[in-house]
Amino acid sequence: MSEGIFYGVGVGPGDPELLTLRAARIIGEADLVVVPRPESDKESAAWSIAREHIREGCPVIKLVFPMTRDSALLDEAWERAAREIEGHLRRGIKVVFLTVGDPMLYSTYIYIFRRIKEAGCTVHTVPGVPSFCAAAAAAGMPLAEGDEKMAVVTWNARSPLSAGELEPFSSLVIMKASADLDGIIDTLQAAGFLQHSVLASRCGYADERVETELRSLKGTAVPYFSLILARKEEK
């Protein structure tokens, strides 16, 4: 029995035109497409971005991953998904897992990737454009240049960064900035990053939003996937 190949394909930040040529080709050659879908959403974002490249008649499995911090529940969901994918791979087919942004950055793919690799299957990862690169392009805000150092972080009240910890860095990308927005804004101010900061959401989508007055967002609610780009000084 021939072994299949598992592809983890980054479909970029949201705009279907930000797929790579390779992503488009691999998706078109898939025997089976697997997309993650949070319980809360009716549709999979990765599927929406890539749908026009999926071959007509190609089966698509939408795997629901719970939106929870309960690691036992998450483990169980990832394990179940990996075993289902492994079953398909044992039939010798090409299984393509779609993931928003880049597959190796803050994605559910990472948990599936490890399990499929440990099972001894062949895995190819196709890199994608991360959301923060699309946000930087949309905001016209360089991320890092010359000898600068950049921090890319998720941020919530349990794992913030202090102004002191930010000291070596010239720029900062905060993913999922919605959980502790007020705390973030206070720290950016203390660390000298607030003046040159933007909050971006839905970058690469038609309803893309870029806010430059972060101070005015204090106390407001912003979308879950909002990200913040901040620089210590304008050059």
- Residue closer to a second copy (CB basis): 140 or 219: 140
- Residue closer to a second copy (CB basis): 73 or 215: 73
Q: How far is the CB of 103 from a second copy (least distance, A)?
A: 7
Q: How far is the CB of 155 from a second copy (least distance, A)?
A: 8
First to last CA, the chain: 60
| Crossing angle of the two packed helices 109-118 and 71-89, in degrees rounded to 10 | 50
- Residue closer to a second copy (CB basis): 4 or 10: 10
Q: How far is the CB of 149 from a second copy (least distance, A)?
A: 4
Q: How far is the CB of 62 from a second copy (least distance, A)?
A: 22
Closest residue by Cα to residue 63 from 82, 86, 91:
82
Alpha-carbon distance of 8 to 225, in angstroms, equals: 21
- Residue closer to a second copy (CB basis): 113 or 225: 113
Alpha-carbon distance of 119 to 88, in angstroms, equals: 13
Alpha-carbon distance of 82 to 186, in angstroms, equals: 41
Q: Is 215 helix (H, G, I), strand (E, B) or coil?
A: helix
Q: How far is the CB of 63 from a second copy (least distance, A)?
A: 17
Q: Are strands 196-201 and 94-99 parallel, antiparallel or unpaired?
A: unpaired
Tokens of 143: 């991320």
- Residue closer to a second copy (CB basis): 59 or 76: 76
Q: Largest Cα–Cα distance of the chain, in whole Å?
A: 61
Q: How far is the CB of 42 from a second copy (least distance, A)?
A: 25
Q: How far is the CB of 93 from a second copy (least distance, A)?
A: 21
Alpha-carbon distance of 149 to 127, in angstroms, equals: 22
CA distances from 181 to 80, 102, 155, 159, 198 (A): 34, 24, 9, 13, 12
Interface with a second copy by CB under 8 A: which residues? 10, 12-13, 15-22, 24-25, 102-107, 110-111, 113-114, 117, 123, 125-130, 133-134, 136-137, 140-154, 156, 158-159, 161, 165, 167-169, 235
